[in-house]
Amino acid sequence: MSRLDLADRARSGPAPVDGRVNWEPFLWLAYLLLLFAPLTWKQTPEEFRTWLFPTLISLPLFLALYRRLYRRRWQLTLVDLLPMALLGYLLTPFNPLGFTYLTYAAIFAPYALPGLFRPFLLSLALVALHAAEIVVIHQPSILLTVVCATVFIVLSCVNGYFKVEDNRKSAALRLSHEEIRRLAAVAERARIGRDLHDLLGHTLSLIAVKGSLAQKLAARDLSAAIREMEDVTRTARDSLKQVRAAVAGMHSASLEEELTSARELLELSGVAVSCHRAPEVLPPETETVLAMVIREATTNIHRHAMASRAWIEIQHELGSVLLLVRDDGRGGATARGSGLAGIQARVGSLGGVLEIDSAVGHGTVLHVELPLDHRAGDSPPSLTNPVSSEAGA
């Protein structure tokens, strides 16, 4: 992926997060409460009907415009904002707080115009037109209305700008992490290719020479030919071991890299992460299993837990290593998923124990204990508590 592709994707905004409800568009609708502030005023039945019915009629139009603007927010232009602003100006003669719709035009202005200066100027233009309108229609409390409209519209514009910048930076950061991982994978494949080329080129040449020599010796010195063939067999076995060692990196995972990836994933999801790892060196197969457990656990926290904090701890005890992954999310695990089943099999293959504690409303705790002097298949995998989609989707 080129740098231009990365830049285009970053400008297009963040990708949706699977399995998580996006509450942002619903939270923004809280501004609509301003429209019904006249309910707290003293007014006659005629005055009540004068502002309430037009306001209720305008709401379906607003919701349709709002849905369209939010869905297309990363591709908006200035023209897309005009219907929302027009709706606010049309409602103002009936409802003094009709400028509420202008705040939504100001919120989406940073999506349609680059930077902060241009959206800010647009917000001031919206305020100026609104002020001119209420002067022309002789609306009461002109100064108070203008001040309130200015504050809400300008603050909405600034809030929208910072939201846009935050989303774009998060998207660019995520894309840079993806590019780093891709480049690391390319470099690793290139290294393995070079190693295999050097290893197999030398070994196959040696086998070819010894095989040819054994063929020539077979007619006059059978014992020497047998020794050469034994050397060929030994060389082939040694080469097989070296090839397996060279490609082992393709099937193992680095614990440090997985901890870094877990922190990046959860922090991008708004989850504060605390990681602690004891400094002792682990066997490669143990490190790989722990890395895969951390990967699956953090993916489940990211997708399902709705947590605000998470903790990952790796400790060493006499003859074993302990992994603890917990979060303060919704908990309430009730079913086992395929992801956890894979972890369970990996842990069991090293004679380890996997435990899950997931009380409703108290988050999920995943505990793994692996013996350091294990033999594969010493004990079957176990799961002490049932697990929900949160723990194993």
pLDDT tens column, 53-94: 999 999 999 999 999 998 888 888 899 999 999 999 999 999
Q: Are 2 and 151 in the same domain?
A: yes
Look at residue 17 in the predicted model and tell me its pLDDT: 44
- Contact yes or no for 157/121 (Cβ under 8 A): no
**Exposed/middle/buried for 333, CB within 10 Å: 0-12, 13-18, 19+?**
buried
Closest C-alpha among 47, 57, 59, 54 to residue 140: 47
Do 207 and 266 have their domain in common? no
- The residues that bridge with 311 in the sheet, in sequence order, are 274, 326
Final residue belonging to a domain, choices 207, 226, 251: 251
| pLDDT value at residue 57 | 93
Total structural domains in the chain? 2
Q: How confident is the model at residue 106 (pLDDT cuts 50, 70, 90)?
A: very high
**Mean pLDDT computed over 8-28:** 58
Q: Residue 60 sits in which domain range?
A: 1-251
The SS3 of residue 307 is coil
Confidence band of 19 (pLDDT split at 50, 70, 90): very low
Under 8 Å between Cβ of 130 and 88? yes
Dump pLDDT digits (tens) for 216-267.
888 888 888 888 888 888 878 877 777 776 665 554 557 887 888 788 778 8
CA–CA separation, 134 and 125 (whole Å): 14
pLDDT the model gives residue 90:
93
111, 164 in Cβ contact below 8 A?
Answer: yes
Tell me the pTM.
Answer: 0.50
* Same structural domain, 167 and 215: yes
Residue 138 to residue 144: CA distance in whole angstroms: 13
Structure token digits, residue 313: 């701890």
Query: Which pLDDT score is estimated for 1?
Result: 44
The Cα–Cα gap between 67 and 25 comes to 9
The answer on 291 and 229 residing in a single domain is no
Identify any residues that bridge with 321 across adjacent strands, giving them in sequence order. Answer: 316, 370
273: pLDDT strictly greater than 60 = yes
Q: What is the pLDDT of residue 21?
A: 59
**Domain co-membership, 211 together with 360:** no
pLDDT over threshold 60, residue 40: yes
CATH of the domain at 328: 3.30.565.10
| Same domain for 134 and 175 | yes
Residue 4 has pLDDT above 50, yes or no: no
Last residue of a domain, one of 227, 251, 275: 251
- Please compute Rg for the chain using Cα positions: 33
Mark whether 172 and 43 lie in a shared domain.
yes
* Full strand arrangement of the beta sheet holding 320-327: 272-277, 309-317, 320-327, 365-371, 353-357
Q: Same domain, yes or no, for 161 and 260?
A: no
The predicted model gives 353-366 an average pLDDT of 86
206 and 236 belong to one structural domain: yes
* pLDDT bracket for residue 118 (50, 70, 90): very high
User: Helix count (H) and strand count (E) of the chain?
Assistant: 12, 5
C-alpha span between 305 and 50 (Å, rounded): 48
Q: Which of 251, 283, 302 is the last residue of a domain?
A: 251
Alpha-carbon dihedral sign for residues 247, 252, 257, 258: positive
pLDDT for the residue numbered 245: 65
pLDDT of residue 104: 92
Q: What are phi and psi of 309, to 5 degrees?
A: -140, 150
Half-sphere exposure at residue 287, Cβ-oriented, CA atoms within 13 angstroms: 19
pLDDT greater than 90 at residue 211: no
Task: Answer whether residue 341 shows pLDDT above 80.
Answer: no
Instruction: Over range 32-39, report the average pLDDT.
Output: 88
Do residues 146 and 134 touch, judged by C-beta distance below 8 A?
Answer: yes
